[in-house]
Amino acid sequence: MSGNDPEIQAGREISRLIELMAKLPGLGPRSARRAVLQMVKKRELMLLPLSRALAEVAERARVCVDCGNIDTTDICAICRDPRRDVATLCVVEDVADLWAMERAAVFRGRYHVLGGVLSALDGVTPEALRIPRLVDRASGGEVSEVVLALGATIDGQTTAHYIADALSGAGVAVTSLAQGVPVGGELDYLDDGTISAALMARKAL
């Protein structure tokens, strides 16, 4: 016997929500079903607040035009914060890595989010990673050091070396996170202590 129509089970809207939730990273059909059920059961505590929060983010979230961070303003709170050191730029692959750096709370400069790493296989070019824009920012006179906080993967290290070359005429020190980032490891998986230690022990390239 074939499966019953999933829309008949739970209503078209609920099935649609489960289907969309199941596509999120870390969730699958089963956890999406449990999450939606939990939301519906906790209408006041979960469903309504989540619906409002998601609507607000949908309306207001945007990419910072300076650094590539995500915030609800055109220039993100980190780029706007006058207490952040304008002389140091930290280059990360992804917004998740920027958030991981911020949780470690030892870096007081600003960021440049590449949005990926160079990959000949996947056709990811320096332009796609906003590397020309990084060179502009680093050459403006304010910046004295660019810290490369990229993963210890082959593509991450290739990208780091490409950026170090690109910045060779910018008159800035180019450093990278110390050994301490596990080989093959991704930044966003590290605990705060490892990130702090690697940043403290950063070395010149």
Q: Which is nearer to a second copy, 28 or 140 (CB)?
A: 28
Minimum Å gap between C-beta 98 and a second copy is 8
**Alpha carbon distance 174, 129 (integer Å):** 18
Query: Which two three-digit tokens encode residue 104?
Result: 């470690």
Q: Which is nearer to a second copy, 12 or 184 (CB)?
A: 12
Q: Which is nearer to a second copy, 60 or 125 (CB)?
A: 60
Q: Which is nearer to a second copy, 157 or 194 (CB)?
A: 194
From a second copy, Zn ion, none, interface partner of 37 (C-beta below 5 to 8 A by class) = a second copy
| 8 A C-beta contact, residue 98 and residue 113 | yes
From a second copy, Zn ion, none, interface partner of 2 (C-beta below 5 to 8 A by class) = a second copy
Q: Which is nearer to Zn ion, 95 or 174 (CB)?
A: 95
In this structure, which amino acid lies at residue 95?
A: V
**Alpha carbon distance 128, 115 (integer Å):** 8
**Alpha carbon distance 3, 55 (integer Å):** 34
Between residue 47 and residue 76, which ones bind Zn ion under the rule CB under 5 A? Answer: 64, 66-67, 69, 76
Between residue 168 and residue 187, which ones bind Zn ion under the rule CB under 5 A? Answer: none
Residue 191 interacts with a second copy (CB under 8 A): yes or no: no
Count the site residues for Zn ion by CB under 5 A: 6
Between residue 36 and residue 95, which ones bind a second copy under the rule CB under 8 A? Answer: 36-40, 43, 46-51, 53-58, 60-61, 69-73, 76-78, 81, 94-95
**Alpha carbon distance 107, 139 (integer Å):** 21
**Alpha carbon distance 95, 110 (integer Å):** 13
**Alpha carbon distance 187, 121 (integer Å):** 22
| 8 A C-beta contact, residue 141 and residue 181 | no
Rg (CA), the chain: 21
Query: Which two three-digit tokens encode residue 200?
Result: 């403290």
Residues found near a second copy in the complex (CB under 8 A): 1-4, 6-14, 16-17, 20-21, 23-27, 31, 33-40, 43, 46-51, 53-58, 60-61, 69-73, 76-78, 81, 94-96, 98-99, 102-103, 105-106, 188, 192
